[in-house]
Amino acid sequence: MTIRADLSAAVGHTPLLRLRHASALTGCEVLGKAEFLNPGGSIKDRTALGLILDAEQKGLLRPGSIIVEGTAGNTGIGLALIGASRGYRSVIFMPETQSREKIDALRVAGAEVRLVAAVPFKDPRHYVHIASAYCESLNDVRPGSAWFGNQFDNTANRDWHAATTALEIWEQTEGRVDGFVCSAGTGGTLAGVGRALKARKPGVKIALSDPTGSALANYVNRGELLAEGTSISEGIGSSRITANFQGAPIDLAWSIPDQESVPLLHQLLREEGWCVGGSSGVNLAGAIRLAKQLGPGHTIVTVLSDAGTRYQGKLFNPAFLREKNIPVPDWLDKAFAV
């Protein structure tokens, strides 16, 4: 019998899925790591587990501790679920602009959710700064009672992806991976997987697929943190270089508009049955670009980060899509016709 002892043991070991349309279009094997199959529904379960295990090992998390984090949603869900399974409660700060589905999922997971204004990182009211200050206030009253996950600048994040996500990709492709591409929020996945794959195969190409409105692609390509445009994507993109992103071995970077990424999501759902979120569309667009650049016969891996049901009111809402000048497929229009 194969039995997982607890929730933590169920995180990871997700399958690689052959993406038929992208593979046929490019003549490559384009593969998606099905991270939406993690128990909390996203790749951030890995991040949450890595951060928690590191904190426990260092004595920063003890029985009865409170987990505090600032998040766009998915890391908070992972922390809340894994934390609950290990005896911790969670207080999560997140921007009020995030999807209702993620906010509700956090509350169902048992987290105390505190919504704050969506402001730039330099503003002291940014959700990361507020979470950090709140954790400090708890520890001022009861030293050691709370732990701040700090997913953006705690490099246990990228270390865990190097040790788990990258190793799984390497083993599942039997070392025949030629390129890895994904977006970056904290930068943990891209930097961790990139470093570990490069260590095993120096010639592997690592690419950043960045949504418009983020400054990271411009930083990689031109050395300047310049954001251009906007995106409906949540949880990815950044206006700063995090500790996790710093030094990531990136060979190529693209800025991906919603008009390119969202139709790929709709096509993936309609033709292949995979319902995934906005960051997965950005990742898939990047995988297609990387495959075309490397040429036929290569193996490209990307990440299907979370499920599209967490963004149903945006990604699959014809009125919202039209408001954002994003094409609406006929089948989606018919599905919501009254």
Asked whether 231 and 214 are in contact (CB, 8 A), the reply is: yes
201 is catalytic: no
* pLDDT on residue 337: 75
* pLDDT on residue 2: 83
**Coil, strand, or helix at residue 99?**
coil
Q: Which two structure tokens, joined as six digits, stand for 245?
A: 């992103």
The residue annotated as part of the active site, out of 33, 44, 205, 314, is 44
- 226-266 residue pLDDT tens: 999 999 999 899 999 999 999 999 999 999 999 999 999 99
28: which residues sit within 8 A by CB, 6+ positions away? 22, 291, 294, 295, 296, 297, 298, 299, 300
Q: Return per-residue pLDDT of the chain as tens, 338 residues.
A: 788 889 999 999 999 999 999 999 999 999 999 999 999 999 999 999 999 999 999 999 998 999 999 998 899 999 999 999 999 999 999 999 988 888 999 999 999 999 999 998 999 999 999 999 999 999 999 999 999 999 999 999 999 999 999 999 999 999 999 999 999 999 999 999 999 999 999 999 999 999 999 999 999 999 999 999 999 999 899 999 999 999 999 999 999 999 999 999 999 999 999 999 999 999 999 999 999 999 999 999 999 999 999 999 999 999 999 999 999 999 999 988 75
Most distant CA pair in the chain, distance: 61
- Cα separations (Å) of 171 from 14, 16, 284? 12, 11, 21
In DSSP notation, 193-214 reads HHHHHHHH-TT-EEEEEEETT-
Distance CA 108, CA 45 (A): 16
